[in-house]
Amino acid sequence: MVNKFQKELSSYVDEEELTFTKEDREQTIQKIRNQKTTQHNNKGSYTRPIMPIMATLAVLVLAIALIPSLIVNERINTKSDSVITSSENEEGFSVLLMGEDATRHRNPFNLLLTFHPDKENVKVVTFPRDLYVDRYNADGEKFEKTKLLHVGAYAPNPEASVITVSNYLDIPIDYYALMPMEEIFQLLGIDNKSKINEIEEQNSIANLLKKDQKFPELIELISHHQTNLTEDVFNQMEMKPYQYDIIQLEEGLNDIFVNEIYYVELESSFLEKLRNDLQNHIGR
């Protein structure tokens, strides 16, 4: 009897549990929806912090990958800039100093200086007054051969002597300066006329300037006379402790006579070597 009652009660409970009203179904559906929404929000809450982290890591990886190539490019650019700068700095310049004898309208003193600023070195060439050269005027027109001494007499414009020497050596002459001969000899402390003539004949004035260490004072003297030197170039000439190297021409000189007039000329092989040395020194 008891067993029968329990079975009936259990059956009743089961039937009661399986009986859903409309309200129950709506509540159940709403719970399911709420549960899905909660799960989606929780999933999003986990995803959102991860995305910025992943993006940051991607940027870092990309940056690390690019750093070596950037460093290499920077080194290449730096090296290239260095080469260009070095090449520009290595180019020198040339100056022709002319000593004028105003009473006879001649230039017995013609001194070429080629400057190499990077090496702080100057090559010095003193031309003999009797040097046999093709004469040019200020417009670059070529005339007969004559003594370098006389070029200034034919053309008072310094450009004529500049072009004549430039063509003789086959190098560009960038600047010139023209000054009285007596001031150059005053710089050397020489006022004896016979001594002056001897120095001119022997073409030894550059050796005396070097021996007495007068080149810096000679450069200063230029600023007080006719010149086309710019202030920047003049400062380069003055500010650096240049070493002056005298190129001796005596061993390459030969005495010649043309129409019974005395001249000197350089042997062709010696002249070619001189040209190459000066061209290499100024980088042109």
Tokens of 170: 């086959």
Give the Å distances, CA to CA, from 223 to 80, 165, 179: 38, 22, 10
Structure tokens, 207 = 């050796």
Mean pLDDT in runs of 10 for the chain (284 residues)? Answer: 46 45 58 52 48 59 53 44 38 92 81 94 95 96 95 87 97 95 90 84 87 91 92 89 94 96 97 97 90
Give the mean pLDDT of the chain.
78
Sign of CA dihedral 147, 148, 149, 153: positive
Q: Which token pair is 62? A: 């990309």
pLDDT at 79: 37
At 203-231, the pLDDT tens digits run 888 999 999 899 999 999 998 999 999 99
For CA atoms 130, 136, 138, 140, the dihedral sign is negative
Residues whose CB falls within 8 Å of the CB of residue 243, separated by 6 or more in sequence, listed in order: 120, 121, 122
Computed on alpha carbons and rounded to an integer, the radius of gyration of the chain in Å comes to 47
Rounded distance, CA 96 to CA 152, Å? 13
CA 19 to chain centre: 99
Q: Can you give the pLDDT at residue 111?
A: 95
Query: Could you tell me the two tokens for 115?
Result: 């400057």
Q: What is the pTM of this model?
A: 0.67
User: How is residue 34 written in tokens?
Assistant: 């709420």
